[in-house]
Chains A and B, each alone.
Chain A
Amino acid sequence: MRRLLLALALALALAAPATAVMPDEMLADPAQEQRARSISKDLRCVVCQNQSIDDSDAPLARDLRLLVREQITLGKTDAEVRDYVVARYGNFVLLKPPVEGDTLLLWAGPFAVLILGGIGVAVWQRRKPVTAADAPLSDAERAELDRLS
């Protein structure tokens, strides 16, 4: 049993978070590689759509990772690298779309629903009739109660 637990613990320890980035893709400079990783995490893999290029094993995702690293080594800033990819694939390639005219509904929608819901609840509360629960019993009710008890 102890051996089994030990084996399990070892297996868990070795199961480092899997990443699609291959050693041959990585940049020599750790700071630049770190920047490449963080940019890649925000870029959608256009083939698999719900993965970032940092997570995806698709060949096109690999090409885009290499492209991001190439642009970094050319001295581009993070924003410039992102713009470079957006110029080719559009805002769709960003996992977090920017706040713009056509994404306003996306960003403001949840707050609008919250506010409308709040107004609805407030109106509903206000209109609720005052309950007569605390009113004293009428004579007829009292007589009925006496009869039952």
Chain B
Amino acid sequence: MQRLLFIAPIIAFVGLAGFLGYGLTQDPKQLPSQLIDRPLPEFALPGIDGPVLASASFRGEPRLLNVWASWCAACPQEHPVLERIAAEGFPVYGIAWKDKPDDSRAFLARFGNPYAGLGMDQAGRTAIDLGVTGAPESFVVDKRGRVRFKIVGPISPEQWEGEIKPLMQKLRAEA
């Protein structure tokens, strides 16, 4: 009993330290998405030089929806990965978030345009509906228009290869 009383605080301390230490390895900026397994929020955004990008069109095949901006520092880094995704036959759609159309055009002229469809969200309302906290953020949307996965920050080639591509292939096979 005496020994137990002596050891208990040490065990409690080690437990607490372990718990807090685990907390340090977590990124507090990674917020869980509210949208997982829920339908894409409704939007109909004007295109830059093309047709309107509407949430209702996200049907029939899995797509990647990428929220980006010309002012976003990490977007040029992510861009080659998006081009590769498009080249591998997976449709990539874009939402230019709080960006001037001319700036978006200049960005695409410089880095290339992987987007099968592009909407302008200048007011930032659709981004809020999507729960976006910063650019870039991407969503994997399934055949039925439901969000299945969210990526915060730029997609790395490894993440595409190891995580997103297998998911999109699986979603393709889904009924």
Contacts and interface: CB of A to CB of B under 8 A. Distances in A.
A90 B133 contact: no
Most chain A Cβ neighbours within 10 Å, of B31, B33, B98, B133 = B133
Interface stretch (B101-109, B123-131, B161-169): B123-131
Nearest to A116: B12
A97 B47 CA distance: 39
B107 to A, nearest CB: 18
B134 interface: yes
A88 B125 CA distance: 11
Contact of B28 (A47, A49, A60, A89): A49
Contact of A88 (B28, B124, B129, B134): B129
Nearest to B2: A127
A92 B34 CA distance: 11
A88 B31 contact: no
Nearest to B5: A123
A63 B124 contact: yes
A26 interface: no
Contact of B131 (A47, A63, A88, A123): A88
Contacts of A123: 5
Chain B interface SS verdict (over half): loop
A90 B41 CA distance: 15
Chain A interface SS verdict (over half): helix
Interface in B20-42: 28-29, 31-34
Nearest to A63: B124
B156 to A, nearest CB: 22
Contacts of B131: 88-90
Contacts of A47: 133-134
B34 A46 contact: no
Given A46-B31, A49-B28, A88 B128 contact: yes
A46 B131 CA distance: 9
A64 interface: yes
A10 to B, nearest CB: 40
B133 A88 contact: no
Nearest to B38: A87
B98 A88 contact: no
Contacts of A60: 124, 128, 133-134
A19 B89 CA distance: 49
B128 A92 contact: no
B31 A89 contact: yes
A89 B98 contact: no
12 contacts: A46-B133, A49-B29, A59-B98, A59-B124, A60-B134, A63-B128, A67-B128, A88-B128, A89-B31, A90-B33, A90-B34, A90-B131
Given A59-B124, A60-B128, A63-B125, 11 more contacts: A49-B28, A60-B134, A63-B124, A63-B128, A88-B34, A88-B129, A90-B31, A90-B33, A120-B5, A123-B5, A124-B5
Interface of A: 46-47, 49, 59-60, 63-64, 67, 87-90, 92, 120, 123-124
